[in-house]
A = this chain, B = another copy of it.
Amino acid sequence: MSKPLLAGIEAGGTKFVCAVGYSPVDILKEIRFPTTTPEETMTRAYDFFKECQEEYGPIASLGIGSFGPVDLDRRSKTYGYITSTPKVRWAGTDIVGFFKSRMDVPIGFDTDTGAAALGEGRYGAGRGCDTFLYLTIGTGVGGGVVVDNKALHGLVHPEVGHIRLVPREDDTFQGTCPFHGTCLEGMAAGPAIQERWGKPGIELPEDHPAWDLEAYYLAQGLAAMVLTLSPQRIIMGGGVMHQPQIFPALRRYLKEFLNGYVDRPEITEEREDYIVFPERENQAGITGALLLAQDQLGAVQ
């Protein structure tokens, strides 16, 4: 008997990645295209899977990791929807329903960062951790939490990007978040850097004061997350984290803010293997989506 064919979608706010494979790390075919309207983008994904079925035979299950907020509550009427997203055209889109009505296979569903966290957990920097945190610092600040190989959901799902920060005395920037102003995303995501300093992060030199301030704010958010979750590792990716000078400053500030209260060498010795860059950077999301597909087969068999 041949292995079941898995399909995955990493549904991002800027681009979609779709893939099929016999395992989450044995991808046969992958496609990436920009996110436009829901109808056009989802149809393009569906057309890709139709093609794949002609080439490789029937798809056994689908996993979707989607930008959000999304409704992950299986008892809810809007389960599988993208809900109150600022990307207006996508608010209220029944993404799971779209594929369910066309493909009739079991569908696993999570947030984009939840899926990426699962991918990094199984095949990347989260290996061996029971509890870890995965963050992306890009156009927004998003995060996924994994506990015992499952993405944590609870009431909805973590939204660590919106933790409130204490602005540093020398920073008068009001923050970009329409909900909270000076929350983590409002102060430290890519657009906040661009607005505060007048140009995008990528154009600022490595020794620009922007990076120390960036580490200061990220570490404030991390301190709250460490005190709430006690992660065994913190994986930080996204465009902004391509500035490697942020990492040492981040470890220093996290230690300073916790001030000895969490008395572990990971923090007090500013260990380099505690706050780390992802190992599977651009693949974590789609790997996680395929893991969600694989989980569905476990549940069904």
Contacts and interface: CB of A to CB of B under 8 A. Distances in A.
Interface stretch (A51-59, A256-264, A279-287): A256-264
Interface string A230-270: 11100000000000000000000000011111111010000
Q: How many copies does the complex hold?
A: 2
A227 B159 contact: yes
Nearest to A133: B228
A42 interface: no
Contacts of A220: 164
A297 interface: no
Q: Which of A150, A152, A231 neighbours the largest number of chain B CB atoms within 10 Å of its CB? A: A152
Nearest to A177: B261
Contact of A83 (B131, B224, B263): B263
A84 interface: yes
A153 B230 contact: yes
Interface string A125-165: 00000111000000000000101101011111111111110
Contact of A155 (B145, B153, B160, B230): B230
A231 B180 contact: no
Nearest to A73: B264
Contacts of A83: 263
Contacts of A162: 227, 258, 261
A60 B68 CA distance: 49
A262 B230 contact: no
Nearest to A274: B155
A154 B261 contact: no
A202 interface: no
15 contacts: A83-B263, A147-B147, A147-B148, A153-B230, A156-B230, A156-B263, A156-B264, A158-B228, A158-B230, A159-B261, A164-B224, A164-B257, A224-B224, A228-B228, A228-B229
Interface of A: 69, 83-84, 130-132, 145, 147-148, 150, 152-164, 166, 179-180, 220, 223-232, 257-264, 266
Given A162-B227, A164-B223, 14 more contacts: A69-B263, A145-B228, A147-B148, A155-B230, A156-B230, A156-B264, A157-B230, A158-B228, A159-B261, A162-B258, A164-B166, A164-B220, A164-B257, A180-B259
